[in-house]
């Protein structure tokens, strides 16, 4: 087996707004769409993000431990930019910190079981060759 994609859930009412945010701000392209889900890929990467529509009213209390993670030289600023875009499009958004190098964006009305994380590239320098 080879790793293909990760799937997370979005509140159906905010599904299209979050998809648009990922496309406009992070350059994701749409690979496939069904009535319930969309598969996206950010150019230059090889793992896909599947987002599914959810009607779940309650949120996972521990969702901050489940992230869609990105690398950035300026992780807090990058997430603050996404948060500002989300607010301009009617979504409550907040940025928090796990450490001085790891930050997260939560949009409680939209993200059911995850947050978006951004961290400095040195945290992903594992010194392991998986080529």
- 14 pLDDT higher than 70: yes
118 inside domain: yes
50 inside domain: yes
% of the chain surpassing 70 pLDDT: 98
98 inside domain: yes
130 inside domain: no
- 70 pLDDT higher than 70: yes
Answer yes or no: are the C-beta atoms of 22 and 68 closer than 8 Å: no
131 inside domain: no
Specify the number of domains making up the chain. Answer: 1
Contacts of 12 (CB under 8 A, 6+ apart): 53, 54, 55
Q: With the C-alpha atoms ordered 89, 48, 29, 78, is the resulting torsion angle positive or negative? A: positive
Write the pLDDT tens digit of every residue in 111-120. 999 999 999 9
Residue 131: which pLDDT band, with cuts at 50, 70 and 90? low
Check which CATH number belongs to the domain holding 102 and give it.
Answer: 3.10.180.10
Contacts of 46 (CB under 8 A, 6+ apart): none
Domain of 12, in residue numbers: 5-124
pLDDT of residue 129: 78
64 inside domain: yes
pLDDT of residue 74: 98
Query: Which pTM was predicted?
Result: 0.92
63 inside domain: yes
- 30 pLDDT higher than 80: yes
């Amino acid at each position: 087996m080879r790793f293909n994609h990760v799937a997370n859930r979005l509140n159906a009412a905010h599904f299209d707004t979050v998809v648009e945010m990922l496309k406009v701000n992070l350059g994701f392209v749409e690979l496939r769409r069904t009535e319930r889900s969309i598969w996206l890929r950010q150019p230059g990467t090889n793992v896909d993000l599947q987002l599914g529509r959810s009607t779940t009213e309650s949120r996972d209390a521990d969702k901050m431990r489940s992230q869609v993670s990105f690398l950035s030289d300026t992780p807090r600023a990058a997430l603050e930019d996404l948060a500002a875009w989300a607010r301009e499009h009617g979504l409550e958004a907040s940025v928090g910190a796990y450490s001085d190098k790891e930050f997260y964006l939560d949009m409680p009305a939209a993200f059911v079981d995850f947050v978006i994380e951004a961290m400095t590239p040195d945290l992903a320098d594992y010194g392991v060759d998986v080529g």
